[in-house]
């Protein structure tokens, strides 16, 4: 298989994997928001650590294009001009959504008796931004590859 064929195969696989990663991120949030408040147990610390790792890997993949274990020449083929533009668009929308969620949570907290902990607020903002960016990037890449 040539490098170009391998790059095409990996790009197509990425469009299928990104939404699944986003789903994992959201499911992790569901378990975070349904866990009892109060003192963090050991399992809660592991859960928080897993969320930090997952969010960091997703952000790094969105920023760099991922495929860190592939040869640099193949990564350059995968990360062509269209892909870089799609990633930029996805990151831009993810940022806007994160800011909108932050503003919305600020308004809700200012005018209601609903109380979110700082950790819950951070989780909601980061998850909304990353999930949106993942879905947008996957959709744009899928459209570009078809």
Q: In terms of C-beta density within 10 A (0-12 exposed, 13-18 middle, 19 or more buried), how is residue 13 classed? A: exposed
Instruction: Give the model confidence (pLDDT) of 24-49 as tens digits.
Output: 998 888 777 777 666 677 887 888 88
Mapped onto helix, strand or coil, the DSSP state of residue 133 is: helix
How many Cα atoms within 13 Å fall on the side-chain side of residue 14? 28
């062509």: which residue's tokens?
80
> pLDDT by residue (tens digit) across 47-100?
888 889 999 999 999 999 889 999 999 999 999 999 999 999 999 999 999 999
The structure tokens 């790792």 sit at 53
Q: Where are the domains of the chain?
A: 3-145
What pTM does this model have? Answer: 0.89
């Amino acid at each position: 298989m040539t490098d170009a064929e391998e790059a095409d195969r990996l790009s197509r696989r990425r469009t299928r994997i990104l939404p699944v990663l986003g789903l994992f991120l959201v499911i992790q949030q569901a378990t975070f928001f349904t866990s009892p408040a109060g003192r963090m147990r050991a399992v809660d610390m592991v859960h928080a650590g897993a969320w930090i790792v997952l969010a960091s890997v997703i952000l790094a993949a969105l920023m760099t294009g991922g495929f860190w274990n592939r040869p640099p020449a193949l990564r350059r083929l995968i990360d062509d001009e269209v892909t870089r533009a799609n990633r930029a668009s996805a990151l831009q929308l993810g940022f806007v959504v994160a800011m909108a969620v932050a503003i919305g949570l600020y308004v809700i907290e200012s005018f209601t008796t609903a109380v979110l902990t700082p950790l819950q607020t951070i989780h909601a903002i980061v998850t909304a931004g990353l999930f949106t960016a993942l879905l947008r990037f996957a959709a744009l890449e899928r459209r570009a590859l078809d």
